[in-house]
Amino acid sequence: MNSLLIAVGAAIFYVIAYHTYGKYIARKIFEVSLKNVCPSTELRDDVDFVPTPKKVLFGHHFASIAGTGPIVGPAIAVIWGWVPALLWVLLGSVFMGAVHDFGALIISLRNQGKSIGDIAGDLISPRVKTLFLLIIFFLNLIVIAIFGVVIAACFSLFPDSVFPIWVQIPIAIILGKIIMKNGDENSRFAKIAVLISVIIMYGTIFVGTKMPLEMPEDMGIDPVKIWVILLLIYAYIASILPVQTLLQPRDFLNSYQLIISLVLLAVGVVVAHPTMVAPEVNTNVSGALSFMPMIFVTIACGAISGFHSLVASGTSSKQCLNEHDAMFIGYGSMLTEGMLAVFVIIACCAGLGLGFEKNGEFLTGANAFNAQYADWTALKGLAAKLNAFITGSSNMIAKTGIPFQWATTIMGVFIAAFAATTLDSATRIQRYIVGELAMTAKMPFLAKKHPATLIAVGSALGLAFVDGTGKGAAALWPLFGSLNQLLSGLALLVLTIYLASRKKNYWLCAVPMVFMFVMTFWAMEIKITDFYSKNNYLLLAISVIIIIFQIWMMIESCFVFRKIIKSKK
């Protein structure tokens, strides 16, 4: 099948979904209203609670939820065939992910910007709140620790990206000050400042191609360790600064990078319009776990991801100007991420077929895809997952006349930049979660900014270096997919009870909730069996504990839900 038809069809599908199902959810189910005062205004402190124009907040929200998730997940899942991966991305993002993200944002806006875990305590029970917050803390712990390693690996794979990524920080700070001083991001002066910032940002990418930077081994220390330490120090600083100083402008700037990257990919698809050379369906993959249900936990961010509810109820709800903006930010961001995942599928299944060299042989078509996706072991390691997308997308972009090396650097910077924004957003969210846990435990001194951030970063640093390599979190990474999707089910559970208590159509959240719980339980059962057969007792024990937490929360929630339904009759 021609990839151009897939890209155009997906874009049309998302536009129609936004203006039909999205608006129905916003207007009829959650009844968004400009009359409701948002936490950014009610609790404004110009540090965490800051009223923010929707275009700027869209940039922050999208950059925070994206990271490498919508790239790595689809780049792995296409080994089972591009059709099931595409269908899950399209249907999952519209009917599950976007509803999940938008709903989490709305109920947080109506509960003083509290996290989805904290809100669970008000709607269900204090015990559920504690269990929910512990699961969120554990998920964030893995995200922060592993993303330090991911970015370090990106710097190693794409040394051309090191200079642009770090220079983006002062560019973003200056841009933020200009927009704050001007007071309107839509003014002519602000638009000129954004244009100049984007030009400078891409100028640094050109410099990066001419000046690749590699971390030298200092006193025999592995470069990965040094990068992880530096990145966590950066995350600490970024998470305690006022949100409009660095987080907002950097993510806003990255949103333009996203738009440009998507445009380049779209133009590449139009010009090259490569044919999909991957199998449509391939459920018999050597060395892989079962196609069902693993595809639903492998592709998370492109379809539905529990981490998104943390961003929506953690940082975005504290900056949203009004409820009408929430649809554009929550629902719109998820569909945009879905479109990015579609381009990843096309890059890996069609762009890769335009050709690449392996072991001195130039491969094209199905041979190129099969060489990259020969079996499950061929996808082990971050390099294999990212290279499939980078090579495929660069092949298509190069057809527009942009040199292949430049295209590779542009996409490498794109990946590293979005991973970095997820890192600092996750650290900030973890600070809030630590604060909520501290208040629950009646230890308010730990809820303060610096102690909470120190716990957030210190625990991640400890996990990263638990084995002395700086890559310690990798041992827990096999749990991330299932844990992340478990969290999405729990967030949908909270939304279901919220809507039921207000006599709204809760089935729009309840059906996706049941689906995600079933798939998560199924995937966890398969992984527990796998962990047991390999004598991996650490992951086995953690998996069992998580399932016990989930069952406990579901039982308590069922009692609350039953009581709500009875009271409404």
Q: Domain limits of the chain?
A: 3-568
DSSP symbol at 523: H
**Nearest CA-CA partner of 309 in 87, 77, 484, 535:** 484
SS3 state of residue 558: helix
The pLDDT, as a whole number, for residue 23 is: 96
Q: In whole angstroms, what separates CA 355 from the centre of its chain?
A: 29
Tokens of 424: 């600092």
The pLDDT, as a whole number, for residue 474 is: 66
Count Cβ atoms within 10 A of the Cβ of residue 362 and give its class: 0-12 exposed, 13-18 middle, 19 or more buried: exposed
The pLDDT, as a whole number, for residue 363 is: 83
- C-alpha 33/C-alpha 31 separation (Å) is 6
The pLDDT, as a whole number, for residue 186 is: 63
- C-alpha 32/C-alpha 111 separation (Å) is 14
The pLDDT, as a whole number, for residue 301 is: 87
What CATH class does 3-568 carry?
A: mainly alpha
Tokens of 207: 């410099």
The pLDDT, as a whole number, for residue 182 is: 66
- C-alpha 298/C-alpha 94 separation (Å) is 18
- Residue 293: asked if its preceding bond is cis (omega within 30°), the reply is yes
**Which amino acid would we find at residue 5?**
L
SS3 state of residue 2: strand
Q: Where are the alpha helices (DSSP H) in 67-161?
A: 69-77, 82-92, 98-109, 116-123, 126-157
Low pLDDT (below 50) residues in the chain: none
Q: In whole angstroms, what separates CA 403 from the centre of its chain?
A: 29
The pLDDT, as a whole number, for residue 470 is: 62
Long-range contacts of 529-532 (CB under 8 A, 24+ apart): 530/289
In degrees and rounded to multiples of 5, residue 361 shows phi and psi of -115, 135
- C-alpha 114/C-alpha 204 separation (Å) is 38
Record the pTM: 0.90
pLDDT tens for residues 359-404? 778 888 889 898 888 777 766 666 677 788 999 999 999 999 998 9
